[in-house]
Structure 1
Amino acid sequence: MATSNLLIYLDGKLVPESEAKVSVFDHGLLYGDGCFEGIRIYNGRVFRLTEHLVRLYESARSICLTIPISIEEMEKATVETVAANNLRDGYIRLVITRGVGSLGLNPYQCPKAGIIIIASGITLYAKEKYETGLNLITCATRRPTPAALSPQVKSLNYLNNIMAKIECIQAGCEEGIMLNEQGYVAECTGDNIFIIKKGQVYTPTIASGALDGITRQAVIEVMREMGLTVHEVTMTRHEIYTADECFLTGTAAEVIPAVQYDRRPIGDGKPGKLTLEIIQKFKALANSTGTPVPYSA
């Protein structure tokens, strides 16, 4: 679909992309003040929509941001935006900005939050990387301490992740691992990380500074149904260096293998057998569940 044909939900109305504009005085633009969710559409259904919206409203509550419509109204607006663009498979970016206010940090000078819903497509990694696997590095940029801002708040200020992503690109890698202030593994620049060793699965604890990803939770459910034991642990780089398999999860990334870390092969340097099985099981789940989209006949 050509992006010029997109219809964007903007503050209660569906408008053409060319007319979807926000004020230069919106605090989302001026200060990165707001929150968002990325959500997938599979086979005409919105995957884990309720979970995403609950997290969105929790993020907003955490930063004292009042979303001007109910969660039920937001669900209706989201699926209607997908239907209006006739998307059967794709990606939704749901953005809540603090809204228009005066210059200065005071959020209480913004009388009403802004709502933007974009339903389009996304390609985070090249298709062949899902078959050959990603190369990872350790990013020098650290995750902010949870005492500064909880990693469970998906805020509009992603500069920390962007700086880490720049490191990855400049190093010729697709993705990188971010450490917390103690030097333990937190997450990647936009994904959660899992390793497999001796048939056991390990992932960093949420307390390590990782987002409790919706896809992360879905994949944990899939693995437990497969009979795999999943451990949430304090993880060091050594555990990844010596893992048998490694994969990343995220809404945009879905599930993707990682085969090299800091120029060390992970396992035999190829996507692992269990990882490939997990990917197939996740695809089956994603394509068979979710909130139906009310397409017009």
Structure 2
Amino acid sequence: MTAAYDDRDGKIWMDGELVDWRDAKVHVLTHALHYASSVFEGERCYDGKIFKGHEHSLRLIESGRLLDMPIPYSADEIDAAKEEVLKANGFENAYVRVVAWRGSGLDMGVSAKRNPVRMAVCAWEWGSYYGDAKWQGAKLDVAKWKRPSPETIPTAAKAAGLYMICTMSKHAAEEKGFSDALFMDWEGYVAEATGANIFFLKDGEVHTPLADRFLNGITRRTVIEMMKEKGLTVHERRIKPEELDGFQECFLTGTAAEVTPVAQIGDWNFQVGETTRAIAEDYEKLVRA
């Protein structure tokens, strides 16, 4: 599908009912448009089943709570809305986007407690997030921006505002010929990519940044559990940038990214090795089980 995202056929669930795709609109004075009062979830449906869909619904509710924005639906109701959208559009394999936001209302300043919290569910067919990099290995720039301290913003929320530097950094990376960008945190440790968590392999063991200062992805947690069940040792710890020179393999995880090998980060190069490929294959089997 190549049409613009606002000009497609299909149905979108919006505030409790299915509407035609092109009619799913909001007012220009929507609070979220001005103040980033929005949270969302990205999910994938494989062969008719959303992978860990209920877990995503629970996280959406928690993200709303962290932003002082109570989601007016239960996790079960959100699950049902997602299923309704997939059925209405006839999708068996698709990407699902649930978004909740402060709408337009009586307030149009920083405070927005009198404005309703709205929600929409969309789905579309979407292939590999990184294209050919899924097999050849993604190439990452090193972002000039840093992941913020948890004392400055609710980093455990999947909130729209947290992605502003992601868009800027990905644009800068693409202009240099890279697929994505790697963030360091505010203390200079390795953090994550713009929309995915990162893992490294060295001498048969896995190393990944401790996810206490950025979003601890559902795919990240799934892959860690999967690797441990396979007997791999996983170290969750602070990783200094200079350590990248000693790692042999690298890969990204995320709902959109799934498991994507990394061939390059800045001046550092990595093998697209057998261990990474095996992890990617195991994940593919798991989501379709």
Instruction: Report the TM-score, using the length of structure 1 for normalisation.
Output: 0.91
Kept after mapping to 1: 8 A contact 2:128/2:134: no
Amino acid at match of 1:274: T
2:160 is aligned, of 156, 160, 181, to: 156
SS at match of 2:154: coil
- Check conservation: 1:201, 1:231, Cα contact below 8 A: yes
* Offset of residue 171 of structure 1: 1.9
Aligned partners of 1:239 and 1:43: how far apart in 2? 40
Q: Which residue does the alignment assign to 1:293?
A: none
Alignment match, 1:105: 110
Residue 183, structure 1, aligned to residue 191, structure 2: no
Kindly indicate whether residue 257 of structure 2 is the aligned counterpart of residue 253 of structure 1. yes
Secondary structure at 1:105's aligned position in 2?
A: coil
Residues 123-132 or 39-48, more deviating? 123-132
CA contact (8 A) 1:137 1:168 kept: yes
What's the offset of the Cα at 1:126? Answer: 4.4
* Counterpart position of 1:231: 235
Deviation at 1:139, TM superposition (A): 0.8
- Cα RMSD (Å): 1.4
How many angstroms does 1:124 deviate by?
A: 5.7
Does the 8 Å CA contact 1:185/1:236 hold for their aligned counterparts?
A: yes
Structure 1 residues 4 and 84, CA, compared in 2 at 3 Å: closer, same or farther?
same
State how 1:45-84 maps to structure 2 within 5 Å.
Answer: 45-84=49-88
Letter in 2 for 1:113: V
Query: 1:150-193: per-residue Cα shift (whole Å, max 9, x none)?
Result: 22111122212111112211221001110111100111111100
1:165 and 1:36 map into 2 onto residues whose CA distance is: 19
Tell me what 1:145 maps to: 149
Opposite residue 162 of structure 1, the aligned amino acid is T
Letter in 2 for 1:119: A
Contact in 1 for aligned 2:38/2:160 (Cα 8 Å): yes
1:202 aligned to which of 170, 194, 207:
207
The share of aligned pairs that are identical, in percent, is 37
Tell me, what secondary structure is at the counterpart of 2:91? coil
CA displacement, residues 108-165 of structure 1 (integer Å, 9 cap, x when unaligned): 131x211111111334644321111011221111112211112211112221211111
Larger RCO of the pair (alpha carbons < 8 Å, separation 6+): 1
Q: Where does residue 172 of structure 1 map in the other structure?
A: 177
Structure-to-structure mapping, 1:119-130, within 5 angstroms: 119-123=123-127, 125-130=129-134
Unaligned runs of 5+ in 2: none
| One-letter amino acid of the counterpart of residue 271, structure 1 | V
Distance 1:164 1:53, change over 3 A: same
State the secondary structure of the residue aligned to 1:153.
coil
Q: Which residue is 2:277 aligned to? A: 276
- Say if 2:122 is the partner of 1:118: yes
Is the CA contact 2:47–2:288 (under 8 Å) kept in the aligned structure 1? yes
How far does the alpha carbon of each residue in 1:41-73 deviate from its partner, in whole angstroms, 9 at most, with x for none? 011100001111111111111111111122211
1: distance between equivalents of 2:242 and 2:69? 40
User: Are 2:92 and 1:88 equivalent residues in the alignment?
Assistant: yes
- Closer, same or farther: CA 212–145 of 1 in aligned 2, 3 Å: same
Give the whole-Å Cα distance in 1 for the aligned partners of 2:137 and 2:31. Answer: 39
Q: Which residue of 2 aligns with 1:295?
A: none
CA distance in 1, matches of 2:38, 2:128: 23
1:193 corresponds to which residue? 198
* Matching residue within 28, 33, 42 for 1:29: 33
Task: Give aligned pairs, total.
Answer: 283
One-letter code of the match for 1:203?
T
Question: What is the identity, as a one-letter code, of the residue corresponding to 2:263?
Answer: V
